[in-house]
Amino acid sequence: MSSAAEILVVILSIALTFFLILGMVLVVYLIVLTRQIRKITKSAERTVDGLESTVAGFSKMMSPIFVAEMVSKIIKKFKTNQKGK
């Protein structure tokens, strides 16, 4: 093999080694990032579940209150109409 071919092989092997190490580092960072995303997703899911139960409880409470307010408004309107006649 000529010296030019040997130099080319050395340069290519150094470049391939560099890209192999870079690839390994990127895979490690990708694994770490995936774990962090999983933690954030679980936290967000817990928060949404808590808010969902709170909203469901609030809506159960607001329905009777809304009906009671409507009935009281109707009664007040009926009483004012009776007084006016």
Q: What's the token pair of residue 31?
A: 């694994």
pTM over 0.75: no
- pLDDT tens column, 2-45: 999 999 999 999 999 999 999 999 999 999 999 999 999 999 99
Question: In what helix (H) or strand (E) does residue 8 lie, and over which residues does it extend?
Answer: helix 3-84
- Does residue 66 register a pLDDT over 80? no
Q: What is the pLDDT of residue 84?
A: 61
Structural domain for 32, as ranges:
1-85
Nearest residue to 22 (alpha-carbon basis) of 10, 34, 14? 14
What's the number of domains the chain is made of?
1
Q: What is the pLDDT of residue 59?
A: 73
Q: What's the token pair of residue 39?
A: 């933690």
DSSP states of 20-66 as a string? HHHHHHHHHHHHHHHHHHHHHHHHHHHHHHHHHHHHHHHHHHHHHHH
